[in-house]
Amino acid sequence: MQQRKLASGRPSGTDDTDFSYRMVVDSRYEKVASGKSRHYSHILLQAVIQLIGTVCTVLSISKEDPDRIAILAIAVGFVSLILGELGRRRNQVGLLKIYMFGSSTAILLWLACLSKSNFMLEFIRDPSKWETKKLGLLETALILFGEF
């Protein structure tokens, strides 16, 4: 091993002549990293939407009887979020496919719950009651936002 000379200030081999031997990150690894960060932001956004939807459902359960479709949508949504995060961390395509299917199913269940409630029809007929129906409006907005 060659000792560094204080007079020259730089050890040999680091004078930018070794650039052809340096490793370059392949573009496919950059694509994987950007895809993982995109998946993370989507999963995080869906988790926030799912959490707000759960709070809305719990608040509406205290006022009336529990809606089984909404509870099933919450369960399917949370399980799909867990599987999606595991698939993202471990780079497992199978878990990510299950996540996509589960999250789509949860959205369809939320839509079925929304269509069963006839809330939007009541709101369109009499928009002056929006103060009393704020929770339903928030839930509708979340479901529609979650579709995109």
110 confidence band (pLDDT: 50, 70, 90): confident
SS3 72: helix
**What is the tens place of the pLDDT at every residue in 25-78?**
678 888 888 888 898 998 998 898 888 888 877 877 766 677 788 889 999 999
Within 10 Å of residue 124's Cβ, how many Cβ atoms?
A: 8
86 confidence band (pLDDT: 50, 70, 90): very high
Q: What is the mean pLDDT of the chain?
A: 76
10 pLDDT above the threshold of 90:
no
- At residue 70, φ and ψ (nearest 5 deg) are -65, -40
Residue where the block lists tokens 């529609």: 144
DSSP for 107-126 reads: HHHHHHHHHHHTHHHHHHH-
134 confidence band (pLDDT: 50, 70, 90): low
Taking the complete model, does pTM exceed 0.85, yes or no? no
Q: Which residue has the higher pLDDT, 116 or 146?
A: 116
- At residue 67, φ and ψ (nearest 5 deg) are -90, 115
CB-facing half-sphere around the CA of 140: CA atoms within 13 A: 16
**What is the reported pLDDT for 133?**
61
What is the distance between the alpha carbons of residues 111 and 118, in angstroms, rounded to a whole number?
11
